[in-house]
Structure 1
Amino acid sequence: MAAVLLVLAAAVAAGYAIAGPLRGGHMETEDAEYQAALEDLEAAKEARYREIREVEMDYRTGKLSEQDWKAIDRELRAEAMELLRKLDALGAGDD
C-alpha cells in the first residue's frame, strides 16, 4: 500500500512540474492581450489628437467653415474622451 501511495505522489508531483510552464503560458497570453489592447487604444488616442489638430488647421486656413469645424471637433473630442475612459478602465498609467 505504501508503494502505491509513493507512486501516486510521484505521479502528482511530476504532473504538477510538467504543467508549470503551461500555467505560466496562460498568464503570458493574457499579458500579451492586455498589452496589445493598450497599444491599440494608445494608437487610436494619438490618431484622434492628430485629427483634432488637422481639423483645427483646416478651419484656420479657411478649408472648413466654423460650423463644420465645431461639429467635427466635437465628434473627435467625444471619441478621444471615450478612448481615455477605456484606457482608464484598463488601468493605463497605473504603475
Structure 2
Amino acid sequence: MTGAPEPIRVEVAYARPDVQVIVPLGVAEETSAAAAIEASGLLEKFPEIDLAVNKIGIFGKACGVDQPLRQGDRVEIYRPLIADPKESRRQRAAKKGEEKA
C-alpha cells in the first residue's frame, strides 16, 4: 500500500520584544518557506509581517521565501533592524576612545 508520504515536521518562529511564538507544523516534503509561514497563521496574528520586507532564514542562515524545507527546519521571520550594526560599533568604539583620553 502506498499512501500519501508522511509529512515532515518543521517550525515557524517570530519574535518581538514583548512576545515570541514558535509554531510546529507538519508539511509535505519540499514545501517552501513561504508556504510554511502561510500555514503557521503568523501572518494573520502579526499583521506587521510583510514577506516583501521582512527577511527570513532557517536556523539563523538567511534564505529566500522559495527555499524548500527539510525535516526539522525552523523558519525564522526577522524584524527589520532599528540600528545599523556597523554604525553602532563605530559609535561604541568612538565612545571608548573618548573615555581613555
TM-score range, shorter chain: under 0.3
Structure with the larger strand share:
2
Q: Under a length normalisation based on structure 1, what TM-score does the superposition of the two structures give?
A: 0.24
Structure with the larger helix share:
1
Q: Under a length normalisation based on structure 2, what TM-score does the superposition of the two structures give?
A: 0.23
